[in-house]
Chains A and B, each alone.
Chain A
Amino acid sequence: MSVAPAPLATIEPAQTPWGRFWRQFAESRLAMLGLTMLLVIVLIALFAPWLAPQDPYDLTKLDLMDARQAPGAKSMDGLTYWLGTDGQGRDMLSAIMYGLRVSLMVGVLSGVIALTIGSIVGVLAAYLGGRFEQIVMRIVDIQLGFPAILVALILLAVLGKGIDKIIIALVTVQWAYYARTARSAALVERSKEYIEAARSLGLSGARIVLRHLLPNALPPLIVVGTVQVAHAIALEATLSFLGLGLPPTEPSLGLLISNGYEYLMSGKYWISVYPGIALLLTILAINLVGDQLRDVLNPRLAR
């Protein structure tokens, strides 16, 4: 097999890969809007204890006299409830800020764990092949044949409530997507010349996979990752809404929305609506960024 020498790369004028990536990403105004929104949301979630007007889980601060106040109402001690209060007199704005923390944490954590497990399994499947690959891909195929909510429902019916349990359920739901993506990306990369070069240099298998194969298989994983984190956040909210996700001591946005459900018919819309808007904006921001990442990182659309 004769391998033609690769043509010398055309030298781009003083541009790092990161710079080029950023320039392409910034071409879409919608994506920049999404990124800005996402940054603001993450900052709010990170600094909620300092930003929130009230500590929503300090029961001594809550006053039942202030329960179910409409947005803009004043509290007994002069605090304005910009987004109203819930059934226990909790400031909704503060509750949402704390809820964002929980929702984002669960989404990102489960995404990172699933990404790690999925990409290791997927890359190993591509690298080892044979029986291991067959079994893994069969499991992935069967699991992806079922909707995420069904798999999560089965797991949570079995596991019960709790933040660790919902993370287990979300990881189980998601790992297969990463495994499939990682395997197909690794299959493409495996046959390329730089892997052959690394092999002929006598590098160990682990080093080739970790230092050479994995970094090059990363772009499609990042794209799947953004979409999956958005899915995870939405799924966690849905499950918590159904009463199957998080316990009331760690209220995520889904649980806040669920709490407002009982007041809906009496027209007290704000308890459910505002946490929902926060949830929507978070998912929307991630999807906008993800859409543009897909275009920028897609080698078929490479400019």
Chain B
Amino acid sequence: MFVYILRRLSQTALVLAITSVLVFGGLYLVGDPVEILVNPSADQIEKERAAAALGLDKPIHEQYLTFVKGAFTGNLGNSFVYARPALEVIFERMPATLELAFLAMVIAVVLGIPLGLYAGLRPASPVSKAIMAGSILGFSLPTFWVGLILIIVFAVQLGWLPSTGRGPTTEFLGLQLSILNAEGLRYALLPAVNLALFKLSLIIRLTRAQVREQSLLDYIKFARAKGLSTRRVIGVHLLKNIMIPLVTVIGLELGSVIAFAVVTETIFAWPGMGKLVIDSIFQLDRPVVVAYLLVVVFMFILINLVVDLLYSILDPRVRLADVKS
């Protein structure tokens, strides 16, 4: 177990190093941030001074070396735009993204598992067919377009829910969260539903497939033969066994929800780190883009690792050495 975690962590370091080289080298080739940052009427001397201040006058390998040295001390460089450490800017925005991702996952799980369960237990009923048709639609609907439709219907036409910004926040454990008060929750609802839709379809389909597969197995027949109530057979025996693949997928999807928040945050002007990175890409704010990608890639690897460990706890048959990264 210890060796396994160690090996995974060393792999993490490798992936992070490769990402940083790729992104750093690549960004170096695109555009000149000085042109965007400095007043257009500035003369050559002023531009050079600005470039020197940002460390952009040095050759790329020196810039990268400075970056790596900083990275080991927890400093991923200063943002060109905010003139503050890039990590600080990102961590400031992170709670907004995380609460949105969390709320979206809750919506997807709370609705998805019961719907999938129903569709799996009564595959022939018209309601099940409607659920499945809905899930194909949910798969096919482009997330960003659904976001626009939600805005048109609930914000513009009906005027029920706000569609831009984050609303008031409440402090909790030092974090500013808006899902903890009613008004903030109203602001979070449309973006969260938008983000949840795709995952909801996924969880419905997965739960249904699992139920269909498991309910044919002997242990279910045996539990029924023993005279257990349907409720107990489904609630205890079936649910316990379909949970194993579900937990894996839910865990892994949490990461993808964080990545997809880029789109939702842009549509709903939600001030999270996804919107930050899109703005930073346009403003050629390289340190923020590099730091964001490294932070998200790191979070991702961490989530994958936790899911794998969780998997081995939930299912004693799985041995960690067999689990692919």
Residues of A within 8 A of B (CB): 138, 141-142, 145-147, 149-150, 153-154, 157-160, 230, 234, 237-238, 241-244, 254, 257, 260-261, 264-265, 267, 269, 272-273, 276, 279-280, 283-284, 287-288, 291
Interface residue? B75 (CB, 8 A)? no
Contact (Cβ within 8 A) A147 B256? yes
Residue of A146, A241, A257, A287 touching B297 (CB-CB under 8 A): A146
Top 9 nearest A-B pairs by Cβ distance?
A158-B26, A147-B256, A276-B145, A284-B140, A150-B259, A283-B140, A147-B259, A241-B144, A157-B281
Residues of A within 8 A of B81 (CB): none
Contact (Cβ within 8 A) A287 B30? no
Contact (Cβ within 8 A) B26 A159? yes
Residues of B within 8 A of A238 (CB): 142-144, 263
CB distance from B297 to the nearest CB of A (A): 7
Residues of B within 8 A of A (CB): 11, 15, 19, 22-23, 26-27, 29-31, 136-137, 139-145, 148-149, 151-152, 156-157, 255-256, 259-260, 262-263, 266-267, 277-278, 281-282, 289, 293, 296-297, 300-301, 304, 324-325
CB distance from A278 to the nearest CB of B (A): 10
Residues of A within 8 A of B262 (CB): 149, 153, 242
CB distance from A202 to the nearest CB of B (A): 37
Look across to chain B and name the residue whose beta carbon is closest to the beta carbon of A288. B136
CB distance from B121 to the nearest CB of A (A): 21
Residue of A147, A257, A276, A287 touching B255 (CB-CB under 8 A): A147
What 18 new A-B contacts, CB under 8 Å, besides A257-B148, A264-B148?
Answer: A142-B15, A145-B301, A145-B325, A147-B255, A149-B263, A150-B259, A150-B297, A153-B259, A157-B30, A157-B281, A158-B29, A234-B142, A254-B144, A257-B145, A269-B152, A276-B142, A280-B140, A280-B141
Cα-based distance from A260 to B151 in the complex (angstroms)? 13
Contact (Cβ within 8 A) B263 A145? no
Interface of chain A, main secondary structure: helix
Contact (Cβ within 8 A) B263 A146? no
Contact (Cβ within 8 A) B136 A158? no
Contact (Cβ within 8 A) A149 B260? yes
Residue of A242, A260, A264, A287 touching B263 (CB-CB under 8 A): A242
Residues of B within 8 A of A261 (CB): 148, 267
Q: A237-B142, A284-B136 are in contact. Are A147 and B260 (CB under 8 A)?
A: yes
28 contacts between A and B (CB under 8 A): A141-B325, A142-B325, A145-B304, A150-B293, A150-B300, A153-B277, A154-B293, A158-B22, A158-B29, A230-B140, A234-B142, A238-B144, A242-B262, A243-B282, A244-B278, A254-B142, A254-B144, A264-B148, A264-B151, A265-B151, A272-B145, A273-B152, A280-B145, A283-B140, A284-B137, A287-B136, A287-B140, A288-B136
Cα-based distance from A53 to B60 in the complex (angstroms)? 52
CB distance from A56 to the nearest CB of B (A): 20
Residues of A within 8 A of B11 (CB): 142
Residues of B within 8 A of A242 (CB): 144, 262-263, 266, 278
Residues of B within 8 A of A150 (CB): 259, 293, 296-297, 300
Cα-based distance from A287 to B138 in the complex (angstroms)? 11
Residues of B within 8 A of A234 (CB): 142
Look across to chain A and name the residue whose beta carbon is closest to the beta carbon of B14. A142
Residues of B within 8 A of A254 (CB): 142, 144
Residue of B149, B156, B255 touching A267 (CB-CB under 8 A): B156
Residues of A within 8 A of B144 (CB): 237-238, 241-242, 254, 257
Residues of A within 8 A of B255 (CB): 147
Look across to chain B and name the residue whose beta carbon is closest to the beta carbon of A233. B142
Residues of B within 8 A of A257 (CB): 144-145, 148
Residues of B within 8 A of A138 (CB): 325
Most buried by B among A141, A279, A288, A291: A279
Cα-based distance from A287 to B30 in the complex (angstroms)? 37
Q: A273-B152, A280-B140 are in contact. Are A149 and B23 (CB under 8 A)?
A: no
CB distance from A152 to the nearest CB of B (A): 10
Residues of B within 8 A of A244 (CB): 278, 281
Residues of B within 8 A of A241 (CB): 144, 263
Cα-based distance from A284 to B296 in the complex (angstroms)? 31
Look across to chain B and name the residue whose beta carbon is closest to the beta carbon of A237. B142
Cα-based distance from A284 to B262 in the complex (angstroms)? 24
Cα-based distance from A283 to B144 in the complex (angstroms)? 14
Contact (Cβ within 8 A) A158 B30? yes
CB distance from B293 to the nearest CB of A (A): 6
Residues of B within 8 A of A237 (CB): 142, 144-145
Residues of A within 8 A of B293 (CB): 150, 153-154, 157
Residue of B19, B26, B156, B281 touching A265 (CB-CB under 8 A): B156
Cα-based distance from A243 to B275 in the complex (angstroms)? 12
Residues of A within 8 A of B151 (CB): 264-265
Contact (Cβ within 8 A) B297 A158? no
CB distance from A191 to the nearest CB of B (A): 21
Residues of A within 8 A of B266 (CB): 242
Residue of A146, A272, A287 touching B300 (CB-CB under 8 A): A146
CB distance from B298 to the nearest CB of A (A): 12
Residues of A within 8 A of B30 (CB): 157-160
Residues of B within 8 A of A267 (CB): 156-157
Contact (Cβ within 8 A) A287 B139? yes
CB distance from A294 to the nearest CB of B (A): 12
Residues of A within 8 A of B143 (CB): 238
CB distance from A165 to the nearest CB of B (A): 11
CB distance from A266 to the nearest CB of B (A): 8
Contact (Cβ within 8 A) A149 B259? yes
Contact (Cβ within 8 A) B156 A264? yes
Residues of A within 8 A of B256 (CB): 147, 149
